[in-house]
Copies of this chain bind each other. A is one copy, B any other.
Amino acid sequence: MPRPRLTALVKSLPAFVPFVGPEAQERARGRVFRARLGANESAFGPSLKAIAAMEAAAVENWRYSDPESHELRAALAQFHNTGIDNIVVGEGIDGLLGLTVKLVVESGDVVVTSDGAYPTFNFHVAGAAGRLVRVPYSNDREDLNGLLDAAVREDATLIYVANPDNPMGTFRPASAIKQLIDRLPDGVLLCLDEAYSDTAPADELLPMEALHPQVLRYRTFSKAYGLAGARIGYCLGEAGLIGHFERIRNHYGINRVGYVGALAALADQTHLAHVVAKISCAREKIAEIATANGLTPIPSAANFVTIDCGSDGAFAKRVMDELIARDVFVRMPSVAPLNRCVRVSCGREEDLAVFAAELPQVLAAARK
């Protein structure tokens, strides 16, 4: 049969999907989940003002959204006290990570990340034929010195750090990130994924004023803002570097309703504060449930809690599978020693009640 010529790279890529969605699991099981605690969405939902804005925008959805996302970038610039040229808006952080990799990674270039960190980032690096160097976590935190050492040793072009970290939820204060940035070798780009920063201690976050030319910072409306379905993320950085995204991004990739929702959500900081407080309570509740069942919650600055199940990856996998079998959607880290854990998103009281009710039987079944 005649065939198009695929690139050598595409032919070499594995048929890998970073995250199978809960809907696919529901289709396979023939049953919906009772508690959706696996994707770190915010079941507390977005601002009512954002919902109203999105409802009103539906009728206007025959128009493309402004390809410059000017109004949102202006609002974000005011919010972060940066210039509008320091901001690019994209189809979630995932989309922006793909573009970032395209900006700096050529075939064979070394990219440094933590072993067990965000698989979607690794997916994009593979898609650019980059060579991933993985540094082990240290005490369930990303090993900043280890990442830096690897970057120097391997002459890396890109370093990925998430703060708060996913999948572990651990947090490094500004001083530690600042030290990493001060020691970056010339030529490397630090990709600082701050998807979960809204739930971290605000006074310990790296300040925004000094946008370093070798650092890009990623934020999103998908987590604490409660708009995962909107696919609106943004990237902050030095204007010259941000400007390069114009050369490669999908200029008409932003959807109008999500965009309008993000604008309204940003303007409602009262709702965000309210949700952050609820997430904080949910973190405590998940930790209590874990502890009451003899498991060890890892202190989290994110909108989820990762729970050490006290054994190996096979055991944690059984815990996850038993939870899923009981209609509780959760996920787990993929790599040892992180994979001794399961990860539980900060759901509503009713979601966590399902988790609490099922966990004892889940553990009994997993221990059989």
Contact = CB atoms under 8 A, between A and B. Distances in A.
Interface of A: 1-10, 13-21, 23-24, 27, 36, 39, 41-46, 51, 54-55, 57-68, 70, 91-92, 94-95, 98, 102-106, 120, 127, 157-158, 184, 186-189, 213-214, 222, 226-231, 241, 243-244, 246-248, 250-258, 261
A15 to B, nearest CB: 6
A31 B64 CA distance: 18
Nearest to A39: B64
A227 B127 contact: no
Contacts of A43: 62
A41 B64 CA distance: 7
Given A95-B250, A247-B13, A103 B7 contact: yes
A247 B10 contact: yes
Contact of A258 (B24, B247, B255): B255
Contacts of A255: 229-231, 255, 257-258
Contacts of A15: 243, 246-247
Given A17-B246, A68-B23, A157-B4, A95 B253 contact: yes
Nearest to A14: B247
B3 A187 contact: yes
Contacts of A23: 66-68, 70
B61 A5 contact: no
Number of copies: 2
14 contacts: A2-B214, A10-B102, A17-B251, A24-B67, A42-B62, A43-B62, A51-B61, A55-B58, A61-B229, A65-B229, A92-B252, A94-B253, A98-B250, A257-B257
A252 B94 contact: yes
Given A6-B104, A7-B104, A61 B261 contact: yes
A259 B332 CA distance: 28
B24 A64 contact: no
Nearest to A60: B229
B7 A229 contact: no
B241 A4 contact: yes
A18 B70 contact: no
A24 B226 CA distance: 29
A75 B58 CA distance: 22
Contact of A227 (B36, B54, B61, B68): B61
Contact of A231 (B228, B241, B253): B253
Contacts of A231: 252-255
A227 to B, nearest CB: 6
A91 B250 contact: yes
A207 to B, nearest CB: 19
A214 B13 contact: no
B187 A229 contact: no
A257 B27 CA distance: 21
A127 B128 CA distance: 13
Given A246-B17, A255-B230, A4 B58 contact: no
Contacts of A20: 67
Contacts of A214: 2-4
A57 B61 CA distance: 13
A54 B64 contact: no
A60 B23 CA distance: 14
Nearest to A228: B64
Contacts of A24: 66-68, 70
A348 to B, nearest CB: 11
Contact of A61 (B46, B59, B254): B46
